[in-house]
Chains A and B, each alone.
Chain A
Amino acid sequence: MRSFWLSLSFSALAWAQAGVQGTVVDSVTGQPIPRAHVSLIGEKRYGALTTVQGSFSIGPLAPGDYTASADRVGYVEGRNPSTFTLQADQKKTDVTVKLVPTGAIIGRVLDSEGEPVEGAQVVAEGGGSAITDDKGRFRIGGLQPARYRVQAKSGVVSGTAREIRTDGSEEVYDALTYFPGRVAVGPGVEVNGIDIRLVRAPIVSVSGRVVGMAPGTERASVTARAPSRETREVRIKKDGTFKFWKLDPGKYFIFVRADGMGSDDIGSAAVPVEIAGSNIEGIELRLAHSADLPGHLEFDDDKAKQSPQMLIRLSDSATIAAQEAAVDANGAFVLKNVAPGVYHVGVTAPGVYVKSLRYGSTIVDGSMLNLSYGAAGGDLSILLSSAVASISGTVKDDHPTGRRVALVPTDGSSTRFGAVKPDGSYSFEGLAPGSYKLVAMPDLPPGAPAGYEDVMEPVEIHAGGKITRDLKLSVAPF
Chain B
Amino acid sequence: MKLVVALLLLCRCLAAQGTASVAGTVIDSETKQPMAGVHVAIYVSPMGGDEQPVYGAVSKPDGHFSVTGLSPATYFVNARHTGYVFAPSKILSVPLKAGDNKTDLVVAMTQRAVISGRVTDEFGDPVQEVRVEGELVEPARRVITIGPMSAQTDDRGEFRLSGAPGKFLICAQTWKPNRGPSVYGPTWYPASESKEHATAIVATAGREITGIEIRLVAHRSISLSGLVTGLPADPQPAFVSIWSATSGPHRGSAETGKDGQFTMTDLTEGNYQIQAFYGDSLRSAVVDVQLAGGDRSGVQLALVPGEELYGTVEPADSSKLTVFLEGPMGNAVAAVSPEGKFRFDAVFPGKYSVVIRPMPENAYIKSVKLDNTEITDGDVDFSHGAGSSKLKIALSPNGATVTGSIEPADAALAFVILERSAGDTRSYNSGPVLPGAKFSLSGIAPGKYRPFAVDVSTMGGGPDALKPLFEKGEPIEIHEGDRVMKNAKLLAQP
Contact = CB atoms under 8 A, between A and B. Distances in A.
Interface in B59-100: 60, 65-69, 80, 82-83
A216 interface: yes
B182 interface: yes
A141 B154 contact: yes
Given A164-B55, A235-B50, A134 B162 contact: yes
Interface in B1-59: 41, 43, 48-58
Contacts of B220: 1, 4
A180 interface: no
A116 B83 CA distance: 10
A215 B181 contact: no
Interface stretch (A153-161, A321-329, A377-385): A153-161
B53 A161 contact: yes
A243 B54 CA distance: 15
Contacts of A167: 57-58, 60, 65-67
B363 interface: no
Interface residues of B, number: 47
Interface stretch (B121-129, B323-331, B406-414): B121-129
A367 B305 CA distance: 42
Interface string A123-163: 00000001001100001011000000000000010011111
Interface string A247-262: 0000000000000001
B83 A118 contact: yes
Contact of A166 (B49, B66, B122, B179): B66
Nearest to A36: B180
Interface in B177-192: 179-182
A165 B179 contact: no
B101 interface: no
Contacts of A165: 55-57, 67
Contact of B320 (A5, A71, A216): A216
Interface residues of A, number: 46
Interface of A: 1-2, 4-5, 35, 37, 39, 47, 49, 71, 73-74, 102, 104, 115-118, 130, 133-134, 139, 141-142, 156, 159-167, 169, 171, 215-216, 234-235, 237, 243, 245, 262-264
Given A35-B125, A134-B83, A245 B181 contact: no
A104 B158 CA distance: 14
B156 interface: yes
B181 A234 contact: no
Interface of B: 41, 43, 48-58, 60, 65-69, 80, 82-83, 112, 122-123, 125-128, 154-157, 160, 162, 179-182, 218-221, 319-320, 333, 335
25 contacts: A1-B221, A4-B220, A5-B180, A5-B181, A73-B126, A74-B156, A102-B155, A118-B83, A134-B83, A141-B154, A160-B43, A160-B50, A161-B50, A161-B52, A162-B54, A163-B55, A164-B56, A164-B67, A166-B57, A167-B67, A169-B58, A235-B50, A243-B50, A262-B333, A262-B335
Given A73-B157, A134-B112, A166-B57, 14 more contacts: A37-B179, A37-B180, A71-B179, A118-B83, A130-B154, A161-B54, A163-B55, A164-B54, A164-B69, A165-B67, A166-B55, A167-B60, A237-B51, A262-B333
A215 B179 contact: no
B137 to A, nearest CB: 24
A104 B154 CA distance: 10
A169 B57 contact: yes
B82 A234 contact: no
Contacts of A39: 179
A124 to B, nearest CB: 12
A74 B158 CA distance: 12
A13 B142 CA distance: 59
Contacts of A262: 333, 335
Q: Quick one: which of A4, A73, A141, A162 has the most chain B CB within 10 A?
A: A73
A160 to B, nearest CB: 5
Contact of B155 (A73, A159, A171): A73
A35 to B, nearest CB: 6
A171 B179 CA distance: 49
B50 A159 contact: yes
Q: Quick one: which of A2, A115, A263 has the most chain B CB within 10 A?
A: A2
B224 to A, nearest CB: 16
Contacts of A162: 54
Contact of A160 (B54, B83, B333): B54
Contacts of A1: 181-182, 218-221
Nearest to B56: A163
Nearest to A170: B58
A73 to B, nearest CB: 5
A133 B155 CA distance: 17
A51 to B, nearest CB: 12
A187 to B, nearest CB: 13
Nearest to B66: A167
A36 to B, nearest CB: 9
A391 B335 CA distance: 52
Contacts of B154: 130, 139, 141-142
Nearest to B157: A73
B100 to A, nearest CB: 15
B127 A73 contact: yes
Contact of A164 (B48, B53, B82, B156): B53
Given A47-B179, A165-B56, A169-B57, A235 B48 contact: yes
A216 to B, nearest CB: 4
B82 A116 contact: yes
Contacts of B126: 73-74
A163 B41 contact: yes
A354 to B, nearest CB: 29
Nearest to B265: A45
B129 to A, nearest CB: 9
Contact of A49 (B82, B83, B156, B181): B181
A102 B162 CA distance: 26
Q: Quick one: which of B48, B179, B218 has the most chain A CB within 10 A?
A: B179
B278 to A, nearest CB: 21
B16 to A, nearest CB: 18
Given A133-B162, A161-B50, A235-B50, A216 B67 contact: no
User: Which 5 pairs of residues, A with B, have the shortest CB-CB distance?
Assistant: A163-B56, A142-B155, A1-B220, A141-B155, A5-B181
Contacts of A47: 179-181
Contacts of B123: 35
A237 B49 CA distance: 12
Given A35-B123, A141-B156, A216-B319, A134 B218 contact: no
A83 B82 CA distance: 53
A142 B128 contact: yes
A138 to B, nearest CB: 11
Contacts of B41: 163
A215 B56 CA distance: 37
A44 B50 CA distance: 55
A69 to B, nearest CB: 10
Contacts of A243: 50
Contacts of B160: 133
Q: Quick one: which of A37, A160, A167, A237 has the most chain B CB within 10 A?
A: A167
Nearest to A167: B57
Contact of A73 (B49, B60, B125): B125
Contacts of B48: 235
B73 to A, nearest CB: 13
A96 B86 CA distance: 55
A215 B155 contact: no
Q: Quick one: which of B48, B65, B69, B320 has the most chain A CB within 10 A?
A: B320
A156 B80 contact: yes
B444 to A, nearest CB: 24
B155 A104 contact: yes
Contacts of B68: 166
Contacts of A133: 160, 162
Nearest to A169: B58
B262 to A, nearest CB: 14
A34 to B, nearest CB: 9
A118 B56 contact: no
